[in-house]
Every structure is written in C-alpha cells, then in structure tokens.
Amino acid sequence: MSSNLDKIMKPKSIAVIGASTKEHTIGSDLMKRLQEYNFNGKIYPVNPKGGIIEGLQAYTSVLEIPGEVDLAIIVVNAKFVLDTIDQCHEKGIKGLCIITAGFKETGAEGAEAEKQLLAKVREYGMRCVGPNCLGVVNTHPDIRMDGCFAESLPERGNIGFVSQSGALGGGILNILKDLNLGFAQFISIGNQADVNAETAMEYWENEDDVEQILLYMESIQNPSNFRNLASRISKKKPILALKAGRSAAGASAASSHTGSLAGADKAANALLQQSGVIREYSLKNLFATAKVFANCPIPKGDRVAIITNSGGPGIMATDAVCEYGMQMAKISDATKEKLRSFLPSAASVKNPIDMIASAPIEHYKQTLETVIADENVDMIMVIYLPFLGLKDIDVAKAVMEIKEQYPHKPVIGVFMTKNEFFTKLSDMKVNMPFFMYAEEAADGFNRLNQQRLWMERPQGKVPCYDVDKAKVEKIIKAALAEGRDQLTTLESIDVLQAYGIRACKYGLATNEEEVVTLGNSIGYPVVMKMTSKTTSHKTDVGGVRVNIQSEEQLRAEYKDLIEKLTEKGLIEGLEGVIIQEMVKGNREMVCGIATDPQYGPMMMFGLGGVFVEALKDVTFRIAPLTDQDAKEMVKSVKAYKLLQGARGTKPADMDQIEETLLRLSQLVNDFKFIDELDINPLLISEKTGEGIAVDGRIKVRMTEAKEVLACECAACSC
C-alpha cells in the first residue's frame, strides 16, 4: 500500500464527525482550532442534530455533505466508529484521523474492534491515523491545518514530529514558542493501527518542508522495516528519537553471557545506532538537539573555534569539546593577525579566543566575522557573560547579524545570563541556537558532527561466505533427536568451524588412551575440557584443565576429572573430553548472539573472560551485520586499545575479528532459531594476532528448530 498521506496531511476539505457546540469537548475544541489557525480548505461539521456549529452549517451525516471530502476527523463514541468508517467509504473519503479512544488500549474487546477497524481501512483503500490519538497538524501556509485539540496553536518550523503519546504531543505543542521551535507537520499516531512512525518517516523523506524528523516512541512495531527506512532517510535529513521504556524487561534468558548483558533497551539502542538515528534520553535533550538542527547546517568537519569574553567558561567549553572527541580548530596565522589588529593586547587570539571582559559589541561582530571566514574552522561557539553594562539581547542581535551573512557554518551562542534573555528570544525570529551553558553547545556540535559522520559513512554490505550449512543442520538435528536444545561444547565448536570461524585444534576422547593419543598429535601444551549433555557450565565443576605440559600430566588430570565427576554424581551425562591446542594470549574477548523477543537476534562483542559481566565493556548490534557494523563494533569497545597492541603486544588481526562477527551473523541468519550463542573467550593469539574461539556454547529454540528443519528447503538465506 502506498505510504502517501496527502489526504490526511494536505487536505482541501475536512469533515469533523462528532463536532459539538458543547464547550470544552473534543468535538468543540477541534472545530475551534481548525478555524483559529485559518485552515485553507473547507470545514464540514457533522452532528446528528444538525444546526450551526462554530458559525458553520452542520450535517446530520457525512453522506449529506455536498462537496468532496479528503479527511474525516472522527470523534464519535467508539461503538459508532466502524459504521462511521462505512459511511466515509460511501462518501469516497480516503483519509481518516480517529481521535476516539476505546480500542486495543482497553483490552481484548477493544483489540478485536481495532482489528475490524483496520480490516475496513485496508478493504476501502484508506489511510488512517489513530485511533486513540491527539490528531494531525500541517503548518504550511498553503494548508494551515490544526487538526488536534491541544490548547495552543502550533508554531511554524521545519520539524516533522511523530508522537506515540497524544498527551505528550499536546504538551509539546503548548510549549513550542518557549522552546523557540516550530513544527512543519505533526502526527499523533496513538494506537498506530495503520499509520505508524515508519509511515510518517517514509512520507516525510521527500517533503522539502520537513528538514528534520523527531520521534517519540514507546515501541518499534517492525524493527526490520524501521531499520531499512531509517538508515536510508537519515542519510538525507536528521532523525532524532526519544525511545521510552528503558527497563530490562524482555531481556533474553540470562543463562548465557550475551543474554544476561542484553536487554530490550540495548536492542532498541543497537537498532537506532545502526539506522543512523540520533537517540536522546530526555525531552530536554531532544528539543535542545532539534533546536541545533533547526538553525545549523551540517558542518564540513569537527574543528571547533570558541570566542569568549571570559577565560574560565572558555576553558570549560574547550574541555567539553575535547571530551566529545572533536578538535579545537587551529586558527590560521592570517586570522590571528587580523584579530590582533582590533583586539586589545591583553586578549588571547589562540583558540579559545578570549576577547576579555571589556569586549564591546563591535568586537563580538568583528571577531565572529574574522573567525567564520577561517578555512580551518568548521563550527563556532560564541560565549557571552554580562560585563560593563553590555546588554545580552544586543549582543545576540549583533551575532545573529553576522550569522545571517555567513549561513554556511554552524554558530551556537552560550549566554550565561538571566532567564529573561531566553524569554525575549522566544518572541524573536532567531537564526542560531542559544544555550545557558557551554556543555549544551558542545553537545549540539557533537550531534551535528554525528550526523555528518553518518552521512559520510559508506552504506555497508552484508557479505555471504562459503560455509557448510548441511553439516550444521546435521549437528542440530542430532541434538533435537535426543531432545536437547543445548549443543555440547564439541557440537558448538563443530558448528563454528563449519561456518569458517577459527577455533582451536581439538579432538574428542572417551577413554584415557584416546586422550593421550590426541594430546600427543596436537602437541603440548594442551587444554582438557569435559563435554556433557547435562552440564553446560564446565568451570563450576572443575571440568576445564589448562596448560597441560606432558603425557604424564594429561593422564593424571584425566583420572582426577573422572574421579571428581563420579563423586558429584555427574558422570552420567559425560560424552568425553575435548583435547584442544593451548593458544597463548592474555587478551580475551567475547562475542555472541542473544535473541530479543521483539528485535530478533542481537550480536555482541567486547572484553571477555572473567571480566565480561563485571566490566560490561560490550557493544550490541542487530543481525544481520554489515561490514561497517562489524568494524564499528570492534572499534567502539574500550578494549579496542588492547587489540591495537598496547605495551608492545602484537596487534590483533582486526579484519579477521570483524570477519568472525560477520560469519556469526550469517550463521544466525541461516538458522534463525539459534536462541543463544557464546564464544567466550575469543582468545587473541600472541603469535598470529587472530581471534580464536576457545570455547563455544549454542542453544536453540527447540519447537521452532524442529519446524524449520522438518521442511525440505535448505537454501542459504544470503
């Protein structure tokens, strides 16, 4: 179905079904807002009693309306909504905005009614916003539609805003003026039976009026579709999201390392990150960032210049810029010379440029004009503190005057002054953002830079490797036949190797002589690990013996293991022992897969071994991974410095580690029923620098696995 929402967002005529003369009802307030905001089309009130509503002839039914109707805003009782949709169809109306509540948010009965509602919308080829929503707004001068019942009229701006919460959306519309922000379009999606955040994003992708997209979301209905759309649209315009619901509910089973560190919010975070969406964690930050994007172009680089009339705030601003990993711009000699020609000798022309407390307005103008022309500067922070009778609003106007002449570089004002200043600004047309503190400005620059880097980032490809899929199927089928959802260590390592993941050389032995033969052929030192169908955490029962240097030691360790397991009554499930090459390396990483109930398989990478759950230096991405995702995963953990070869250690083979993650991603894409997978540790070899899977643990969703593997098709999903 087309995502075109023109009938809803750009209507030439609106029927308000449920319009009312009763003061302070939704049906009355909607009529008032449409008229007060001077809707450019025709308004048709519909009320069974007819009469006159807000000075307009009311119709007893939508079918009585003489002209064509693009959009029906429905505010009748929930039990009449389905019949109303039938009438709208008969009238030829294609756009619906259903304000009425009483659907899936009320329970099973309401959910069934909403299901019927959606079936009708689909059958009739309509588009529908809601139900249970605040309404829709389009501030374009040709349209001027305030089709919602918030108290304040909307402010004009360049933001497309989607809110899953009607009340929150209404509250925001009420404070837009104070925020010095405006909307181009606003959609309150409510229960999002039809139109959701993705529909709105796709609609706004090529809308020139919408220059940035803001989302308030409590859930992401279709993560895969969201990722496809957002990663494409965010290359053209910024998408900012406030994703609520950050609790750990919905986390994968905590029996695996990956699962215990994962959680619903980590999945949402990974999805937004991979989609180029800038995530904010508070409304305050959401609108601070929106203010920056509303008034600043995307910079060409991350070099920041600071202009100040006070040393202390200049130093704090420098700290904030550097903490975000941006650069302090190197001011050119020509610029410094020009600055010295008019600034007093006590002033500092190095970055931060301190004009000193006596700086008059003229110095603010001249300094900004000089610095903005420097090719070494990408972004400029202008700091003002009130000294010597200099008026904040006059300085702001002077700075905005210069900004007007040089619109190509972002400029942010930091005015440490009284609140009245910001109130005055809300009554003015501004062309740059103003904040109280330097940290807020640095945060704004960081967001601009984040968007720049995303727009410059290569698209990323999902590679397809030559793997032995049939072998993995056979291993999993064998486990399922024995009623096991957990693969043994041996089976897990076989699966990894079938997918080209470098694992230790190993073999399985079931008696002492086999143990010794294997040890001698692999070469000492070796590691011995029990593999059991009943015990998954081997270290807890002394089932892992490391650094075995000789045949004699190997015999002794094997006898001791059998003795201990017999004592503990654990000998029953023992399949045997795995004898592995002992890889030397003190850098242990972890990688794995956990499944989120909503977002699907999540890839994890980070510092492993005993530190994995203590330090939590891990990062997540939703599968399937692109080569860019894998690269960013490896670079984003703090342990990356260890991988680079700190203190003379051999640098890790980054390409091979990235490939390991990509092969794991292919594995989980081919076998979507893999629920958990841990490689801990992925040991970095001191000899070759490659990441070697020393241990593996795989668990599947049994019912799903049985269904999938019962089917004939075993084609690769690539």
Whether residue 229 is contained in a domain is answered as: no
How far apart (Å, rounded) are the C-alpha atoms in residues 369 and 499?
59
Q: CB atoms < 10 A from the CB of 571, how many?
A: 15
Q: Are residues 576 and 595 in the same domain?
A: no
Q: Under the phi-then-psi rule, with left for phi > 0, alpha for psi from -120 to 50, and beta for the rest, what region is 245?
A: left
Beta carbons of 623 and 462 less than 8 angstroms apart? no
Instruction: Based on the fold, state whether residues 86 and 123 are members of the same structural domain.
Output: yes
Cβ neighbourhood burial of 516 (10 Å; 0-12, 13-18, 19+) = middle
Number of domains within the chain: 4
Do the domain assignments include residue 230?
no
Are 422 and 480 within one domain?
Answer: no
Cα separation, 682 vs 607, whole angstroms: 9
Which range marks the domain in which residue 411 is found? 297-456
d(CA 311, CA 606): 41
Cα distance between residue 176 and residue 537, in whole Å: 56
CATH number of the domain residue 368 falls in: 3.40.50.261
Using a 10 angstrom Cβ sphere, with 0-12 exposed, 13-18 middle and 19 or more buried, the burial of residue 650 is middle
Q: Which residues of 659-693 are buried (b: 16+ CB within 10 A; e: fewer)?
A: bbbbbbbbbbbbbbbbbbbbbbbbbbbeeebbbbb
Listing DSSP states for 558-593 in one string gives: HHHHHHHHHHTT--TTEEEEEEEE----SEEEEEEE
Residue 55 in domain: yes
In which residue are the tokens 């399937």 written? 624
For residue 365, tell me if it sits in a domain: yes
Residues 20 and 168 reside in one and the same domain: yes
Whether 556 and 662 share a structural domain:
no
Instruction: Looking at the structure, tell me whether residues 561 and 601 fall in a common domain.
Output: no
Residue ranges of the chain with pLDDT lower than 50?
1-2, 249-259, 712-718
Beta-bridge mates of residue 308: 354
Residues 376 and 419 in one domain: yes
pTM for the model stands at 0.89
Please tell me the distance from the alpha carbon of residue 279 to that of residue 286, in angstroms, as a whole number.
8
Of 117, 137, 152, 146, nearest in space to 189 by CA: 137
**H/E run at residue 290:** helix 283-295
Peptide bond preceding 48 in cis form (omega within 30 of 0): no
Q: Is the separation of the CB atoms in 387 and 410 below 8 Å? A: no
Alpha-helical (H) ranges within 14-107 are 26-36, 81-91
**Helix (H) and strand (E) counts for the chain?**
25, 30
Which H or E run includes 108? helix 108-123
CA–CA distance, 60 with 49 (Å, rounded to integer): 6
User: Domain check: are 22 and 157 in the same one?
Assistant: yes
Whether 386 maps to a domain, the answer reads: yes
Strand, helix or coil for residue 428: coil
- 78 and 58, same domain (yes or no): yes
* Judgement on whether residues 73 and 158 belong to the same structural domain of the protein: yes
Contact 102, 114 (CB under 8 A): no
Q: Tell me which H or E stretch contains 529.
A: strand 526-532
Domain boundary among 581, 615, 646: 581
> Are 430 and 575 in a shared domain?
no
* Distance of alpha carbon 154 from alpha carbon 175, whole angstroms: 9
pLDDT at 506: 85
In a domain, residue 272? The reply is no
Contact 381, 306 (CB under 8 A): yes
On whether residue 715 sits in a domain, the answer given is no
DSSP assigned state of 516 = H
Q: Last residue of a domain, which of 581, 605, 625?
A: 581
Q: Is 98 helix (H, G, I), strand (E, B) or coil?
A: strand
Within 8 A by CB and 6+ apart from 119, the residues are: none
Alpha-carbon separation of residue 356 from 311, 373, 503 (angstroms): 7, 22, 63
In a domain, 170, yes or no: yes
Check: CB of residue 516 under 8 Å from CB of residue 554: yes
d(CA 153, CA 29): 11
**Strands 56-57 and 52-53, sheet pairing:** antiparallel
> Taking Cα atoms as reference points, which of 276, 193, 282 lies closest to residue 244?
282
Q: Give the domain CATH number at 493.
A: 3.30.1490.20
Residue 141, domain CATH: 3.40.50.720
Alpha helix (H) ranges present in 37-101?
81-91
Cα-Cα-Cα-Cα dihedral sign, residues 507, 509, 514, 520: positive
One DSSP character per residue, 60-75 reads SSGGG-SS--SEEEE-
Domain harbouring 676, CATH code: 3.30.470.20
> What are the angstrom distances between the C-alpha of 432 and each of 82, 135, 213, 283, 419?
48, 30, 19, 20, 18
Q: Which of 528, 559, 581 is the last residue of a domain?
A: 581
Q: Which residues contact 286 (CB under 8 A, 6 or more apart)?
A: 214, 216, 240, 242, 280
For residue 226, which of 192, 265, 200, 252 has the smallest C-alpha distance?
200
Q: Retrieve residue 212's tokens.
A: 């940035």
305 and 423 both lie in a single domain: yes
In the prediction, which pLDDT does 1 show? Answer: 38
